[in-house]
Amino acid sequence: MDNLTDYQRKRYELLTNIQKMVASDFSDKDIALALGISSRTVRRNKHCDPKRCCCLENVSTEIYNYKNRILELVSEGYHATGIAKKLKEEGCSSAISTIRK
């Protein structure tokens, strides 16, 4: 799980904790109270794959296909808007605002 942001790392830990507690037969309400989150958050995430959910949340599939290219552009010093414009030039059909996210 390299190359994760602090947010993604924390989210991964939260999701794995939810999974462990679900496996131990804790109720959604008990999990929520123990982790300081809402029971709705527990319900939404108790059956997800933590690796996929923490790393790909709100990322369109098309953008994910450009992952390696985005990493190349970051290493070349491009910023979010520059990367978005470059990907649009290369044929990405997503909106620039979506790419920037």
Higher pLDDT residue, 92 or 32?
A: 32
Is residue 76 within 8 A of residue 97, CB to CB? The reply is no
Residue 81 belongs to some domain of the structure: yes
Query: What are the structure tokens assigned to 88, written together?
Result: 């649009």
Can you tell me the distance from the alpha carbon of 86 to that of 77, in angstroms, rounded to the nearest whole number? Answer: 13
Residue 42 belongs to some domain of the structure: yes
Q: Could you report the per-residue pLDDT of 34-80, keeping only the tens digit for each?
A: 999 999 999 999 988 888 777 655 555 677 788 899 999 999 999 99
State pTM to two decimals.
Answer: 0.55
As a whole number of Å, the CA-based R_g of the chain is 17
Can you tell me the distance from the alpha carbon of 54 to that of 92, in angstroms, rounded to the nearest whole number? Answer: 24
Q: Are residues 15 and 52 in the same domain?
A: yes
Which residues span the domain enclosing 75?
Answer: 61-100
Q: Are residues 46 and 25 in the same domain?
A: yes
Q: Domain count of the chain?
A: 2
Going by C-alpha positions, the residue among 54, 52, 48, 46 that lies closest to residue 21 is 46
Q: Are residues 44 and 78 in the same domain?
A: no
Q: Are residues 17 and 50 in the same domain?
A: yes
pLDDT of residue 86: 92
Q: Are residues 48 and 81 in the same domain?
A: no
Residue 1 belongs to some domain of the structure: no
